[in-house]
Structure formats: C-alpha cells, structure tokens
Structure 1
C-alpha cells in the first residue's frame, strides 16, 4: 500500500452494498466477544464469516446463526499467518462475491506476573494479538482499497491504554500496538474509501473475564469500576457495527472507549 494516492486503481470497482448484500469477516468469532459481534452483524443483515483457530468451533458458532450456511459460515483461521487471511479472503469472495467489513477481534491473554513472562510466552501473545491485526489489516486493507470501499474495525483494550497488567503485560503491550496500527492503516487508506477504527473495551461480562479474575474477586472488580458493573459485550458489538456501517465514512483512525469510566480522556 502506498500513501498519497487519490483513489482506487484505474478500473477498480467502487463497491457499494446493496440491500442484504453486506459481507463481514470476524476473527476469533467462535466464542466470547467475537461471537457476540458476529451475531450482532448477522442480526443487522450481514452475511458473516466467523473465523477461529478452531475451524470446528467456528462452524458450530456459524451454524447457530444459520444452519443452512446461506448467511453464516465458519472457517479456520490462524491470525498469526498472513496466508491464512488470504485464503479466507479468497474463500469468502468465491462464496459471496465480495467482502465489505473486517473485524480484527482474535486475541489471547495470559495472567502472568510481569517478571515471570518468558520470551516464548511474550512472543506467542504478541503474535496473536498484534500480528493478527497487522496481517488482517494488510490483506483486507489492500483488497478494500482496490475496490474503493471498506471498513476495518480492530478490537483494542483498556490494558493497552493504561498499562494494566491484570491480563498480562504482553497482552497490554500488544493491544497498545493495535491502537497505533489502527492510526497507521487509517492514515494510509483514508483516500481510498477505507476506514480503520478501533473499539477499546474494559472488563467485559464474558466468561474469559471470570476465568482470569476468579469468581471470588469479581465483586471487588465491579466495585472498582465507576459505573459499578462489568461492561456489556453487546454494546461493544453495537459500537463495532456502527463503525462498520456504510455511512460511517466520516470516522477513521478513532478509538472508541467502552470502559465504564476506568479511563477517561
């Protein structure tokens, strides 16, 4: 991708969505927040490709939305591998003709003490959270730019903004990188009809938070959140859907915070 171009390449199709024709790819969609995002987009009429490291789990999640496979499909995707994004792009365009939205949601966290994080653990967490956002934005960003229209929404994190280590310093570092990559891709792709934004959640009411924090500490966590409760994954999904909308072209390079008042700026 090269900055400074004035529009899509000569002869490129300027893709606009017809009624019921929008297609979205969501990474890490077999469970948790990714599954909620995929379900919300599907409710809004998108055809959705749910991708995950486990193709079997992705297929089950897709089948829960549409057993026929007409409007939801599950695919295996290792976000650490650029060629996997290219394979998914090609599979979905062959199936549904085009893609309009990419949601880079896939991530992994490990609650490890800062000084005990091994080089292998650091690389593994950063690769999934940061490399995945980079490769996804690179592959689909180029595809969208060639068509003259597209939406990329990255899932960042409060940890990447305030340096929180409850989910691991490697996770916080990677999510800080996701916020920066959002701006980098947004700047590069803005003049080609492609927006790139991020949503940055705090502690969500999802199983992973209960597993990391522990049931005995959840109430204490809620007390430390200004609004007094864990945060709604469905609202995060609504924010993603709004940034993914065709008429959302006025917003790019932004990071929308959903943290219950834990981090105000």
Structure 2
C-alpha cells in the first residue's frame, strides 16, 4: 500500500494542478507525493514512462488525482505535448516543479563532450524549456508557480558530483532569477531550492560508502538531508500565498554552505 494512502483524508484545500518532472523515483516522487497529500492533482512525468505511471498509481490507484506521463525534458516540444495533455485531462495547470536531473561523479579532466552534453541538457536545458513553455502558459492566465530544483553543487562547485552537474545547477539558479524577473509582472513566481547531499538511493548508488561517510561527517548538522523536508519547501513555494517570494534560492544543506 502507498505510504500516502488512497486519497481519503487528503488535505483537500486546493484542487490545483501540479506537474513534477523526474518524478518516477527519488526526490521527484517525494515532491509529487507531498503535493498530492496537500490536495493537488499531480502529473508525475519522467523519461521512464513505466516508472512514472507506477509511481502515480501508488499515490492514487483510481487515477483521479495522479497520472503518470512520459516526458523527455531535453525536448521543448515534449513539454508542450505534456502541458496540453494535462490541460485536456484536468482543464488547468498551476504549478511546475522542474526536478528532472542526472548526475555523474566523474573526474574533471575525464569528462567527455558527450558526457558533458548529456548532463547539461537534462539539468539545464530541461529547466529552461520547462520555464519557457509553462511560464508562457501561466503568464497568459495571470497565475503560476515554478519551483526549480538546483543544488549545493551549483553554489560551491560540488563535493561528490562532476563539474558538468555543478555547472548545470549553477545555471539553474541563474535561470531562476531571469525567469522570475520576466514573469513576475504576470502573476508568476519562479524560485529555486538548493539541497545539499540527500538521504536518497541515487546518492548511495553514486557515491562510494567511504566517501559518503566522509561527506556526512563534514556536514555541520551531522546528517544527510531529508527529502521529505525538501518536498515541504517545494509545497510552500508552490502555494498561492507565496506570491511575494520570487527569484529566491532556498538553501537546505545542513550548514555546508552558509551565506
């Protein structure tokens, strides 16, 4: 049974519609689940269509308030198609969470052109296309919330990830400001969250146990981050009353980076 239940007893106070990218597993699935718990209808999208459909079914077996869709964030036209499918299904769309990403831990001088393009296109191009397509849609309607998932790596150059990932996530933080300035007058807020190392399977798969132990020991708070808290931050930034917060980057890194 889903840890989120079957939809009964949800905090049904919004009935707003959210699109989360990279939501088949990990942080994206956690964010989608928290939005669902708060009464949102949620479209979970991912390059892994089967995974997205499965994650949506775990949230809502009846399929009334959660659906899974295929989305390659590297393709701008794919965002248009998904947007149109969601609007046709639920008549509206109010929130975008740009979470989709890929990370590789590769030595700086060993990163190939193909590897650099792959990481940057998913993390940076995907955020840009999402903000463009959904930002225009929201602006036409005078309301929208965009939450971009950046990273500590984009602020300090990274500790366990490669330069391509750090560079892309630094770009996400900058794009957040650019789109916030452009869309603010149209009732659309654009914000970013920059998590530090999170207690997620993908992190434990990518980082060797000894290195991860050293990273955890270096965190002033003494532990890896909790994905559920990052999800709560995303829900707060997506809320209707978050209208005075835009162009911001909220840090959640256990004290690894203070400013």
TM value normalised by structure 2:
0.94
**Does the alignment pair 1:190 with 2:184?**
yes
Structure 1 CA distance, aligned partners of 2:205 and 2:250? 25
1:158 aligned partner = 152
**Does the alignment pair 1:235 with 2:229?**
yes
Question: Which aligned pairs between 1:17-166 and structure 2 lie closer than 5 A?
Answer: 19-166=13-160
Relative contact order, CA 8 A, sep 6+: which one is greater? 1
1:251 aligned partner = 245
2:197 aligned partner = 203
Q: CA RMSD in A?
A: 1.0
Counterpart pick for 1:220 among 189, 214, 223? 214
- 1:208 deviates by 1.0
Structure 1 CA distance, aligned partners of 2:22 and 2:134? 16
- 1:189 deviates by 0.4
Question: What is the aligned residue count?
Answer: 248
- 1:165 deviates by 4.9
Contact 1:165/1:172 (<8 A) preserved = no
Structure 1 CA distance, aligned partners of 2:187 and 2:254? 32
Structure 1 CA distance, aligned partners of 2:105 and 2:225? 20
Query: Structure 1 regions of 5+ residues with no counterpart?
Result: 1-17
- Hey, which bits of structure 1, 4+ residues long, moved more than 3 A? none
2:5 aligned partner = none
1:22-68 deviation digits (Å, cap 9, x = unpaired): 00000000000000000000000000000000111100000000011
Contact 1:153/1:244 (<8 A) preserved = yes
**Does the alignment pair 1:175 with 2:139?**
no
Structure 2 CA distance, aligned partners of 1:51 and 1:109? 18
- 1:219 deviates by 2.4
TM value normalised by structure 1:
0.92
1:43-97 deviation digits (Å, cap 9, x = unpaired): 0000000000011110000000001110000000000000110001000000000
Contact 2:13/2:38 (<8 A) preserved = no
Moved more, 113-122 or 159-168: 159-168
Structure 1 CA distance, aligned partners of 2:18 and 2:199? 24
Structure 2 CA distance, aligned partners of 1:235 and 1:203? 13
